[in-house]
A and B are shown apart, each in its own frame.
Chain A
Amino acid sequence: MITKEDVEYVAGLARLELSGQEKEEFTKTLGNILEYVKQLEEVDTSSVQPTAHILPLINVYRDDEVEPSTDRERILANAPEKLNGCFKVPRVI
Chain B
Amino acid sequence: MYHYMTVSELAQRIKKREVSAEETTRSFIERIEELDEKVGAYITVEKDRALKTARDIDKKLKQGCELSPLAGIPMALKDNICTENIRTTCASKTLEDFVPPYSADVYERLEKAGCITLGKTNMDEFAMGSSTESSAFKVTRNPWDDSSIPGDSSGGSAAAVAAGMAAFALGTDTGGSIRQPTALCGVVGMKPTYGRVSRYGVVAYASSLDQVGPITRDVKDCALVLNHICGHDRRDSTSMVVAAPDFQAGLEEGIRGMRIGIPSEYFGKGIEQGVRDRVTEAIGVLEDLGAECEEVSLPHTIYALSAYYIISSAEASSNMARYDGIRYGYRAKDYSDLLDMYIKTRSEGFGAEVKRRIMLGTYALSSGNYDAYYKKAQKVRTLIKADFDSVFEDYDLIVCPTSSLVVIRSGEKTNDPLQKILPNVNTVPANIAGLPALSVPCGFLGNLPVGMQFIGKPFAESTLLRAAYAYQQNTGFHKMHPQV
Find A30's partner among B240, B331, B356 (CB 8 Å cutoff).
Answer: B356
Quick check: A90 and B337 within 8 Å, CB to CB?
Answer: yes
- Tell me which residues from 13 to 71 in chain A have a Cβ below 8 Å from any Cβ of chain B: 13-18, 22, 25-26, 29-30, 32-34, 36-37, 39-41, 43, 45, 48-55, 57, 60, 62, 70-71
Cross-interface CB contact of B381 among A14, A30, A51, A74, cutoff 8 Å: A51
Further pairs besides A13-B366, A43-B379, A80-B331: 5, Cβ < 8 Å: A13-B362, A36-B418, A41-B376, A53-B208, A62-B234
**Surface stretch bound by A, among B33-41, B127-135, B340-348:** B340-348
B416 engages A48 (CB within 8 Å): no
B383 in the interface, Cβ–Cβ < 8 Å?
A: yes
Q: How far is the CA of A74 from the CA of B195 in the complex (A)?
A: 30
B320 → chain A closest CB, angstroms: 8
A-B contact pairs, 20 of them (CB 8 A): A2-B363, A6-B363, A10-B363, A13-B362, A15-B343, A16-B343, A17-B343, A33-B309, A36-B309, A40-B376, A45-B376, A45-B382, A50-B378, A50-B381, A51-B385, A53-B194, A77-B101, A78-B101, A78-B327, A80-B330
In the complex, residue of chain B having the shortest beta-carbon distance to the beta carbon of A59: B237
In the assembled complex, the CB of A24 is this many whole angstroms from the nearest CB of chain B, namely 12
Contacts of A89 in B (CB 8 A): 326, 338, 341
- Segment among B10-18, B69-77, B137-145, B300-308 that sits at the interface with chain A: B300-308
Asked if B359 and A11 make an inter-chain contact with CB atoms under 8 angstroms apart, the answer reads yes
Q: Which residues of B contact A75 (CB under 8 A)?
A: 101, 327
Total contacts A-B at CB 8 Å: 161
Output the least CB separation between B332 and chain A (Å): 9
B81 on interface, CB distance cutoff 8 Å:
no
Partner of A16, one of B194, B329, B359: B359
B378 contact set on A, CB distance < 8 A: 50-52
The B interface, classified by DSSP as helix, strand, loop or mixed, is: helix
B456 to nearest A CB, angstroms? 14
How many angstroms from the CA of A90 to the CA of B332 in the assembled complex? Answer: 12
Complex: A62 Cα to B458 Cα, angstroms? 25
Q: In the complex where A54-B194, A54-B385, A55-B434 touch, is A81 in contact with B331 (Cβ < 8 A)?
A: yes
Q: Which residues of A contact B375 (CB under 8 A)?
A: 50
Chain A residues in the interface with B (C-beta under 8 A): 2, 6-7, 10-11, 13-18, 22, 25-26, 29-30, 32-34, 36-37, 39-41, 43, 45, 48-55, 57, 60, 62, 70-71, 74-75, 77-81, 87, 89-92
- Check B380 against A10 for contact (C-beta < 8 Å): no
* Contacting pair A30 B360 (CB below 8 A): yes
The 10 A-B residue pairs with the shortest CB-CB distance, nearest first, are A54-B434, A50-B378, A80-B331, A78-B328, A45-B379, A37-B306, A53-B208, A74-B101, A60-B237, A14-B362
A39 contacts B306, C-beta separation under 8 Å = yes
* Interface contact A90-B363, CB-CB below 8 Å: no
Question: Is the C-beta of B107 less than 8 angstroms from some C-beta in chain A?
Answer: no
Nearest CB of chain B from residue A69's CB, rounded to whole Å: 10
User: A43 contacts B433, CB within 8 Å?
Assistant: no
Contacts of B405 in A (CB 8 A): none
Inside 8 A of B338's CB, which chain A residues have their CB? 89-92
On chain A, the residues within 8 Å of B238 by CB distance are: 53, 55, 57
Report the nearest A residue to B328, measured CB to CB: A78
Give Cα A87–Cα B309 distance, bound, in whole angstroms: 36
Give which listed residue, A11, A22, A36, A80, contacts B325 with CB less than 8 A. Answer: A80
B196 to chain A, nearest CB (A): 10
Kindly state whether residue B470 has any CB partner on chain A within 8 Å: no
CB distance from A47 to the nearest CB of B (A): 10
A71 neighbours in B (Cβ, 8 Å) = 101
Across-interface contacts of A32 in B (CB, < 8 A) = 416-418
Q: Is B439 part of the binding interface, using a Cβ–Cβ cutoff of 8 Å?
A: no
Chain B residues within 8 Å of A50, by CB: 375, 378-379, 381-382
Q: Determine how close the nearest CB of chain B comes to the CB of A78; give it in whole angstroms.
A: 4
Q: Which of B98-154 contact A (CB under 8 A)?
A: 98-99, 101-102
